[in-house]
């Protein structure tokens, strides 16, 4: 949720943000009205409660004669309080609904929709390959990826990673975790099933609700951002506790509803995959700098894998509701001669923390922290990019030097 003070003090800024996202600026005015309505209801109820408390307290020291009349008066006050409290509850609910309807205020990124991103830089040389094989062909030759049997066992968009495919994931995991720990992250294995409040608090039951699998009373997370954000829900950090950084490794589950026909081949878009996610809790004034650091760590990792990539500044209309700004790193995909999103980092400022009630104590008092997340490595797409970019004419794949220690020193993966 956004800061209500901002809405009261500078509603036009929030309306501008809505326009940049291509969403309704009127939502801001509905929020202002709900806010005013709630404050009035609270004042009314507070005053009645105060009167009722006083009347009730006086009974204790009253004489036996006075009592019956005073109790009658207290009873009637109580009835009024109950009425006012019902009105307050309704006003609270209305405010919450209007509050949640407004996504985070965008900052600095380009306005517009999915195609209005801005390319910030391109790093590394695209490989020169004649008739490059795609990752499915390479993965099959290496006996690393088995999509046919994945479909046989679990349906479309499932796969087996076998042999060197599995080893690649383990290697990527180790490399990622080591880099994260060097940067001061705490490694975490979080739960992959969470309660509704955790999913709700991170904003994944809004526009993304159709993406989420549900099992009995739990949701399957689509990213470990969810448990890592909810980890400190309802807590207050001391100022010295931030920044705090976690690197979570978890499976991720996505229904991929509405993506029929997109990325149907191979393991680019799948229902289940593993990912290492960076998550930071920082003081709000440090959030923009932390966002740059997360991006730098993502780039460091892509560089270690020797992948050609570009960085884009995602347009406002393509941001999630919690994000104020987002950068994606896209690796080159030789088989399709296009860029493929490999990592993504979002600055959620205090939006998510306000929903999850995560604060820190500073000299200025208690205030919501800022939260940020960024992909360090999403396994299937990293493997896709590795295989395709480092392939050789014979179908063998060169292992980047940084990964070799985790693959028994192997320099090249060769078809069996």
Partner RNA sequence: GGUGGAGUCGCGUAGUGGCCGAGCGCGCACGCCUCGAAAGCGUGUGACGGUGCAAGCCGUCCGUGGGUUCAAAUCCCACCUCCACCGCCA
Binding site for RNA (CB under 7 A): 39, 42-43, 45-47, 49-50, 52-57, 59-60, 71, 74-75, 78, 236, 359, 361, 365-366
CB of 77 to RNA, least distance (A): 7
| Residue 129: both structure tokens together | 């390959």
CA distance 217 to 230: 17
| Residue 181: both structure tokens together | 């720990």
Of 60 and 338, which has the nearer Cβ to RNA? Answer: 60
Task: Give the burial class of 336: count Cβ atoms within 10 A of its Cβ; 0-12 exposed, 13-18 middle, 19 or more buried.
Answer: middle
> Does 61 qualify as catalytic in the annotation?
no
| Residue 110: both structure tokens together | 């380009």
Q: 3-state DSSP call for residue 326?
A: strand
Q: Which of 56, 341, 362, 404 is catalytic?
A: 341
CA distance 332 to 339: 5
> Does 38 qualify as catalytic in the annotation?
no
Of 77 and 311, which has the nearer Cβ to RNA? Answer: 77
Of 81 and 144, which has the nearer Cβ to RNA? Answer: 81
* Contact criterion met (CB below 8 Å) for 212 and 255: yes
CA 65 to chain CA centroid, Å, is 65
Of 75 and 149, which has the nearer Cβ to RNA? Answer: 75
Asked whether the bond before 321 is cis by omega within 30 degrees of 0, the reply is no
Of 111 and 284, which has the nearer Cβ to RNA? Answer: 284
* Contact criterion met (CB below 8 Å) for 281 and 239: no
CB of 56 to RNA, least distance (A): 4
CB of 66 to RNA, least distance (A): 12
Task: Tell the residue number behind the tokens 């939502």, with chain if given.
Answer: 27
CB of 298 to RNA, least distance (A): 33
CB of 169 to RNA, least distance (A): 21
Of 67 and 265, which has the nearer Cβ to RNA? Answer: 67
Of 67 and 149, which has the nearer Cβ to RNA? Answer: 67
CB of 46 to RNA, least distance (A): 4
CB of 32 to RNA, least distance (A): 12
Q: Which of 290, 344, 354, 359 is catalytic?
A: 344
DSSP E strands, 92-243: 118-123, 145-146, 160-161, 186-188, 193-194, 214-215, 218-220, 236-238
| H/E stretch holding 302 | helix 287-304
> Does 344 qualify as catalytic in the annotation?
yes
Q: 3-state DSSP call for residue 121?
A: strand
CB of 249 to RNA, least distance (A): 17
Q: Which of 15, 254, 293, 355 is catalytic?
A: 254
> Does 355 qualify as catalytic in the annotation?
no
Q: 3-state DSSP call for residue 43?
A: helix
Q: 3-state DSSP call for residue 163?
A: coil
Q: Which of 269, 310, 404, 410 is catalytic?
A: 269
Q: What are phi and psi of 150, to 5 degrees?
A: -60, -45
* Contact criterion met (CB below 8 Å) for 353 and 369: yes
| Residue 124: both structure tokens together | 């590394």
Of 54 and 414, which has the nearer Cβ to RNA? Answer: 54
> Does 254 qualify as catalytic in the annotation?
yes
Cα→Cα distances 413→129, 140, 377, 387, 397, Å = 18, 12, 21, 9, 5
The DSSP 8-state label assigned to residue 391 in this structure reads B
| Residue 306: both structure tokens together | 């020797």
Active-site residues, by number, are: 254, 269, 341, 344, 381
């Amino acid at each position: 949720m956004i800061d209500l003070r901002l809405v009261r003090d500078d509603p036009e800024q929030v309306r501008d943000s809505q326009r940049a996202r291509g969403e309704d600026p009127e939502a801001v005015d509905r929020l202002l009205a709900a806010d005013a309505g709630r404050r009035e209801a609270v004042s009314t109820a507070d005053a009645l409660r105060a009167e009722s408390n006083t009347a009730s307290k006086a009974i204790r020291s009253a004489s036996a004669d006075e009592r019956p009349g005073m109790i009658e008066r207290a009873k009637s006050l109580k009835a009024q309080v109950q009425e006012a409290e019902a009105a307050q509850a309704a006003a609270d609910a209305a405010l919450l609904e209007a509050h949640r309807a407004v996504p985070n205020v965008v900052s600095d990124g380009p306005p517009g929709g999915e195609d209005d991103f801005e390319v910030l830089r391109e790093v590394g040389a695209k490989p020169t390959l004649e008739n490059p094989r795609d990752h499915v062909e390479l993965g099959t030759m290496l006996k690393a990826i088995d999509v046919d049997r994945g479909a046989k066992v679990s349906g479309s968009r499932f796969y087996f990673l076998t042999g060197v495919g599995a080893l690649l994931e383990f290697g990527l995991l180790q490399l990622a975790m080591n880099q994260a720990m060097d940067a001061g992250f705490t490694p975490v294995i979080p739960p992959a099933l969470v309660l509704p409040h955790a999913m709700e608090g991170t904003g994944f039951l809004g526009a993304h609700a159709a993406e989420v699998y549900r099992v009995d009373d739990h949701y399957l997370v689509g990213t470990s951002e969810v448990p890592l954000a909810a980890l400190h829900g309802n807590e207050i950090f001391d100022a010295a506790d931030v920044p705090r950084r976690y690197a979570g490794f978890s499976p991720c589950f996505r229904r991929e509803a509405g993506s029929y026909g997109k990325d149907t081949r191979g393991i680019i878009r799948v229902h289940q995959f593993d990912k290492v996610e960076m998550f930071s809790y920082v003081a709000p004034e440090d959030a923009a700098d932390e966002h740059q650091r997360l991006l730098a760590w993502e780039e460091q990792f892509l560089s270690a894998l020797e992948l050609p990539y570009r960085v884009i500044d995602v347009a406002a209309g393509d941001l999630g509701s919690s994000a104020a700004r987002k950068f994606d790193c896209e690796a080159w995909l030789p088989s399709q001669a296009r860029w493929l999103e490999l990592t993504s980092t979002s600055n959620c400022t205090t939006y998510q923390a306000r929903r999850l009630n995560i604060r820190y104590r500073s000299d200025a008092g208690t205030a919501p922290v800022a939260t940020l997340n960024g992909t360090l490595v999403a396994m299937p797409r990293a493997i896709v990019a590795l295989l395709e970019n480092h392939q050789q004419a014979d179908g063998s794949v060169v292992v980047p030097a940084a990964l070799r220690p985790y693959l028994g020193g192997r320099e090249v993966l060769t078809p069996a």
